[in-house]
Structure 1
Amino acid sequence: MRTRGDAQPRLEPFAAGPVGGIAAAAAALLITLSGRYGFHRDELYFLLAGRHPAWGYPDQPPLTPQLARLGAELFGATPTGVRILPALLAAASITLTALIARELGAGRGGQVLAAGAAACSGYVLGNGHLLSTATFDLTAWLTIILLTLRLARTGEARWWPLLGVAVGGALLNKLLVLGLLVALAAGALTAGPRRPFPPRRHTVLGLLTALLAALPFALPVLGWQAAHGWPELTVAQGLSAAGGAGGRLLVLPMQALQLSPLLAPLWLAGLSRLLRRPELRWARPVAVAWVLLCLLVTAAGGKPYYPIPLLYALTAAGCESYAHWVREHRAKLAGGLLAALLTSSLAALPVLPASALAAPMTVDPDIGEEVGWPELARATATGWAAVPAEQRAAAVLVTANYGEAGALARYGPALGLPAPYSGHMGLHAWGPPPATATGPVLLVHPAGHTDLEHHFTACHPVARVDNGHGTANTEQHAAVVLCAGPDRPWADLWPLLRRY
């Protein structure tokens, strides 16, 4: 990073060509592999939620369901069609990682290394393969981190409105970004910067400007959550309870594993560089924010991957430290990145046969949730055929979770199935069934989870799901159960079926 006397550090030119090439290659790989298995349960839910536009759902704000709807309308309602946008977001995240490296003083070699490391990491590849809230979060958080660093380095007020817009966009996707803001603010208050940050009055004005820029995005989302009793917090509490003490201990190991253990030297070097180098004091809040957010997630029992965008910033910070080493050891670097790419691909991408997912599912169980949804719909159609033809007009199809409902909404019409109902997450708001639907009820629920049957009478199994690959995911051997009817009117029963 060059300087001009006492002026702010001057950035090296951006390595747009090689960085863009790496990002494009990653996107091409993701699109090529996007259709190998099938939809993920969350994608099926997002497609269904996208048909019911709202400013919020119990488990998330509106952005990801609308991205699913947009992808399906632009590119087709297929796994590949829905996953083109995630692949492009992955390319954006790779580019942002290189830009963060540049912001922290990296030249051409450091920027290319940062892009290569991001492209070979399991978290970027996994989120670029599937549409999830984490997919957009990674891009949004990296944008916020980049703008925060730019603001801290230059002290220029023009970055405040852009920072506010980036925060507002992130709030449209997940309220979790508020944790990032708290961690960055705490890092700034405890670790600097001192210069060239503007005087306090200008900082207050800048914060107000950012707030005003974020409000058009934030108010509808926060208003919806407040009007509905903050259900996203209820969902978060349930995730914390499900994770238990064991999940809290995995916050750091899982981040290292999801990024790639082979990339650990980069982020460790970046952490050390930001905490120890006095000329980078202005960027130190990013390192402190990562530590604080890890502690916050551990204490609250959040998902281990929540702080991982900050780990990408640390990785970017460490790349300049290796830039000189890279010039002399290019073969070793290429071998290391190739090993990271191969191991990350095995863990996060559909490169193995569907029958060989046992090993990668120990690292990321979600990859197994892309298998078996058409088979679930066919098993449900077998169960529906057991309903007497004269009773089907008054019959109801009910599922235990949103994945099952999304699969039946996607594949069911071609099999003659009616629209499904469910009390899970956002689907509860789209019920209950009509009061006249007093006939038989066909239930679909995971094997062994019979709680749903307790609300219905004379239940007996009529079919069983087999995904045909032996993949031990949530819906393998799911039960299709035929019941005579609900044990009380739907208006009374429906509140009892709500589940987060």
Structure 2
Amino acid sequence: MRSEIRARRWFLLLWALLLAFKLVLAARLPLFVDEAFYWQEGRHLAWAYSDLPGLTAWLTRIGVALGGNDVLALRAPFLLLAACLPWLVVRITAREFDPVQGWQAGIFALLLPLAGTLGLLAVPDVAMALATLLCMDAGTRLLRTVDATAALELALGLAIGALSHYRFIAVIAVGGLALLLIPEGRRALRDPRVWVALAFGIAAWTPLLAWNLDNAEAGLRFQLVDRHPWAFHADGIWFVLVQALLVTPLLFAALLLAAWRHAGDDNRVARYFAWLGALVVLGFFVLGFFADTERVSFHWPLPGYVALLPLLPGVLRRWPAWLRRATTALAALGLLTLLGYYAAVSVPALRAHSAGAKWYPGNFAGWEPLARAVRELRATLPADTRIVADNFKVGAELGFALDDPDIAVLPHPLNRKHGRAPQLALWGLRADDRAALGPQPLLLVVGASEIAYKHLLAHYHDLCARLGPLPAPLVVNVDHGRQRFLLFAFGEAAQTGACTTPAMAWFDAPAAGARVGRRFLVAGWAFKDGVGIARVEITLDGHPLATARYGLPRPYVAPFWRISTDPAHPDVGFDAEVVLPEGSAGVHWLGLVLHGKDGSRETWPEQRIVVDDTRD
């Protein structure tokens, strides 16, 4: 009894603290690009969409309908569902084993990093975890006896899963296989009430299937064909390491041990949990050798870990006390690390500090400064100016910030890569050229940092082909230019003529991250198609430092940028020797201001250098 009270108190304390922290963090964390698109889908209510079934979009719509167009309101339904999940784990484990193990399993449902952070983002994984637990609970009831309550719970879980994500098909398949491996499960599957529940669950896929039938199977092709290479690659071996780090090593080992130990257990419920969890995790491990490696997939096995949580306390009881404490402490540290990452992402100064790092959170960053710049520029333009985005990310994020779900979007590789192109076309928001946008002023917003630099000039020329010569842009550099947006104001009448593009540039010296003395050479090249460069200004930490000599020969530039039309080629080089004052040691950001011959002024992304006084 004393152990139960102690475990319950720890659970309640952790649950309350985690929920409070997540509420504060969810209110401050910038909107992730997928969340923004789910918001946009919620503003165009439908039974299904090109990337997902309808439930995620419906939840975002409920949130903003009740709480206004605010990030916390958007995430509130997901936070509420996520807060219920540990209680379900407690209930299932306590009923099948004992109350102490129930509270202990609930504690680890809070500490498991992937589960403990659920709800911070408005994503489908929350509803999928809920559906998994409901189906698990129903499955354990069916193993004892088939009744209407268990069948109804199974139907509800299957329906929620079907309305959440295509990936829930894996949970259904594994759950069915786990029941078939147990005699009592096979008996339950012969009961008509279970078949009715299964029929209800199958019917919940109807909206998604209907959408695909009406749209040339675009959603199925994206989820099952286009995004996956379906060819063996060795990257799947990283699955074990990545999962061990995300779950935390000792907890990962304990969950796998639980699956191994109970796979042949005489207790049919324990055996069911073991097979369900093990097959989900193992299935995604095997899939990792053939599936998509370009998009985030580390969260896919979460339903498997959730299924193994009820078995975890029994495994930990056999471990020595020091190892149990180490497992708990390491899991808590993993949760705090992941929460700390989200907290850091929510602080602009910390995001800016990470601008030169590979883990820079680009999908969270820059949207608020961009929205401010768009509002300010739009206030100076005609009232009927229409905003156009060059990709779905910009369109959705700006749409949320401006409360406008109908921002037109140009064709872009990102739209296809993320499966959003068909949906934009269905909404009538895809605009292929100027004629499709109508005879009115336009404000084009381009996410320049979303295109690989080697393809950026071609992207600019594609924009010219669609909209005409590009006017001088207003540049919005966020976090030293790691996120870079260009705003182009077009008049009412379409323009013709040679393509004019934003400037292109490169630092030949110093290299990014280089250590330099107080006196060093800055060299590189710059060009601007259709107009040309008038002068190049060197900046340090955003302040003018020197004016470079421009027009130096760089014969290797034009052969690389074959489509460039700047008549100054090959004389597009620049250099300047700069001398910094004493006391300049430390980290600085070296930048450029590119002045076009058309009077344009474009700030170039900055690169990090380290000034070392001892090198002089």
TM-score (norm 1): 0.78
Q: 1:259 aligns with which of 240, 247, 251?
A: 247
Cα shift at 1:354: 3.2
CA RMSD, 1 decimal = 3.8
8 A Cα contact 2:47 2:54, kept in partner: yes
Question: What residue in structure 2 maps to residue 455 of structure 1?
Answer: 466
Q: Distance in 2 between matches of 1:77 and 1:335?
A: 38
1:356 aligns with 2:350: yes
Closer/same/farther in 2, CA of residues 312 and 109 from structure 1, 3 Å limit: same
8 A Cα contact 1:397 1:421, kept in partner: yes
Q: Distance in 2 between matches of 1:471 and 1:315?
A: 44
Question: What residue in structure 1 maps to residue 561 of structure 2?
Answer: none
**Residues 350-394 of structure 1 deviation map (CA, whole Å, 9 limit, x = unaligned):** 5773333477998987x553332121123334554686x4xx64x
Amino acid at match of 1:310: G
Q: Distance in 1 between matches of 2:358 and 2:238?
A: 12
Q: 2:215 aligns with which of 211, 215, 228?
A: 228
Closer/same/farther in 2, CA of residues 76 and 263 from structure 1, 3 Å limit: farther
Question: What residue in structure 2 maps to residue 6 of structure 1?
Answer: none
8 A Cα contact 1:460 1:482, kept in partner: yes
Question: What residue in structure 2 maps to residue 304 of structure 1?
Answer: 298
**Residues 260-279 of structure 1 deviation map (CA, whole Å, 9 limit, x = unaligned):** 33522331222222224343
Question: What residue in structure 2 maps to residue 429 of structure 1?
Answer: 426
Question: What residue in structure 1 maps to residue 394 of structure 2?
Answer: 404
Question: What residue in structure 1 maps to residue 103 of structure 2?
Answer: 112
Cα shift at 1:17: 6.6
Amino acid at match of 1:221: L
List alignment gaps of at least 5 residues for structure 1: 1-11, 489-500
Amino acid at match of 2:182: P
The structure 1 segments of at least 4 consecutive aligned residues displaced by more than 6 Å after TM superposition are 326-330, 358-365, 484-488
Deviates more, 1:154-163 or 1:84-93: 154-163
SS in 2 for 1:199: helix
Q: Distance in 1 between matches of 2:305 and 2:328?
A: 22
Deviates more, 1:279-288 or 1:47-56: 279-288
8 A Cα contact 1:444 1:480, kept in partner: yes
Q: 2:486 aligns with which of 464, 479, 484?
A: 479
Closer/same/farther in 2, CA of residues 323 and 403 from structure 1, 3 Å limit: same
Report which of the two structures shows the higher radius of gyration computed on alpha carbons.
2
Identity of aligned residues (%): 20
Question: What residue in structure 2 maps to residue 62 of structure 1?
Answer: 54
SS in 2 for 1:53: coil
Question: What residue in structure 2 maps to residue 493 of structure 1?
Answer: none
Q: Distance in 1 between matches of 2:90 and 2:187?
A: 30
Q: Distance in 1 between matches of 2:232 and 2:408?
A: 30
Question: What residue in structure 1 maps to residue 609 of structure 2?
Answer: none
Deviates more, 1:274-283 or 1:51-60: 274-283
Q: Distance in 1 between matches of 2:379 and 2:73?
A: 32
Query: Where does 1:44-59 land on structure 2 (aligned, <5 Å)?
Result: 44-59=36-51
Q: Distance in 2 between matches of 1:129 and 1:243?
A: 34
Amino acid at match of 2:115: V
1:152 aligns with 2:149: no
Amino acid at match of 1:267: L
Question: What residue in structure 1 maps to residue 582 of structure 2?
Answer: none
Question: What residue in structure 1 maps to residue 368 of structure 2?
Answer: 374
Amino acid at match of 1:355: A
Q: Distance in 2 between matches of 1:152 and 1:362?
A: 51
Cα shift at 1:53: 0.7
Closer/same/farther in 2, CA of residues 25 and 143 from structure 1, 3 Å limit: farther
8 A Cα contact 1:274 1:281, kept in partner: yes
**Residues 324-363 of structure 1 deviation map (CA, whole Å, 9 limit, x = unaligned):** 6587887656644442332232234457733334779989
Question: What residue in structure 2 maps to residue 4 of structure 1?
Answer: none
Q: Distance in 1 between matches of 2:79 and 2:484?
A: 32
Q: Distance in 2 between matches of 1:127 and 1:360?
A: 26
Amino acid at match of 1:311: Y
1:240 aligns with 2:241: no
Amino acid at match of 1:219: T
Question: What residue in structure 1 maps to residue 576 of structure 2?
Answer: none
Query: Where does 1:267-286 land on structure 2 (aligned, <5 Å)?
Result: 267-279=255-267, 280-286=270-276
Q: Which has the higher helix share?
A: 1
Question: What residue in structure 2 maps to residue 7 of structure 1?
Answer: none
Cα shift at 1:146: 2.9
Closer/same/farther in 2, CA of residues 262 and 82 from structure 1, 3 Å limit: farther
Cα shift at 1:285: 2.7
Query: Where does 1:411-426 land on structure 2 (aligned, <5 Å)?
Result: 411-412=401-402, 420-422=407-409, 424=415, 425=420, 426=423
Closer/same/farther in 2, CA of residues 157 and 477 from structure 1, 3 Å limit: same
Cα shift at 1:312: 2.3
Amino acid at match of 2:393: G
8 A Cα contact 1:401 1:445, kept in partner: yes
8 A Cα contact 2:236 2:289, kept in partner: yes
Q: Distance in 2 between matches of 1:306 and 1:229?
A: 27
8 A Cα contact 1:442 1:483, kept in partner: yes
Q: Distance in 2 between matches of 1:256 and 1:157?
A: 40
SS in 2 for 1:35: helix
TM-score (norm 2): 0.65
Cα shift at 1:35: 1.9
Aligned length: 459
SS in 2 for 1:130: coil
Q: Which has the higher strand share?
A: 2
List alignment gaps of at least 5 residues for structure 2: 497-616
Q: Distance in 2 between matches of 1:103 and 1:228?
A: 46
